[in-house]
Structure 1
Amino acid sequence: MKHQPVKHDHKAFIERARKRKGFSENYDNLEIEYQVADQLLKARARAGLTQDAVAELMGTTKSAISRLEAAGKHAPSLSTLKRYAHAVGCKLEVRLVPEK
């Protein structure tokens, strides 16, 4: 199955969303989760795969992949992230970056 990504201007979306009461605080509190979800989605798009295809490669369901790619709704294990990375042709790297 060939993935056909939907065009999405994330920066414009965030700009509009930040105008909603409480959005900025909640979004900022989930920054790392959104970064991980963004990386997952970009890797899957680069691989040209659908959620169904990734699920098949990982031996799981499309709904599990959907939950994995939904920021803040699921805290995946490193094992799951490694399997996902492998399915989309990537390797997983985890880094700790000193705070400024």
Structure 2
Amino acid sequence: MTQRRHDPVFPGFKEMAARRERMVEDLVARRLELGLSQTEVAARMGTSQSAVARLESGEADVRLSTLERYAAALGRILDVRLEGPH
């Protein structure tokens, strides 16, 4: 049997995906609060509307730098922290 695209390959994968999904949901909520379209955010990021749509839909495994650019387009800074046991 072949492995599906989103099958976990190591422990914690599902939790990581859920955190990333919440982060994107927060970014989209902020975009909507500001009354910005995907096209406007894309222009601020220097990318296409379709790239923003893919990011927002979860279709793409987005790089950290892309999420940082999205946050900056909304006037925000993306804060990534290392957490867990010592």
> Under a length normalisation based on structure 2, what TM-score does the superposition of the two structures give?
0.70
Number of aligned positions between the proteins: 71
Q: Secondary structure at the match of 1:69?
A: helix
Question: Percentage identity across aligned positions?
Answer: 40
Unaligned segments of structure 2, at least 5 residues: 1-13
Q: Does residue 55 of structure 1 match 2:42?
A: yes
Distance 1:93 1:33 in 2: 12
One-letter amino acid of the structure 2 residue matched with residue 53 of structure 1: E
> Under a length normalisation based on structure 1, what TM-score does the superposition of the two structures give?
0.62
Moved over 6 A (4+): none
Distance 2:83 2:47 in 1: 32
Aligned to 1:36: 23
Unaligned segments of structure 1, at least 5 residues: 1-28
Is the CA contact 1:43–1:90 (under 8 Å) kept in the aligned structure 2?
no
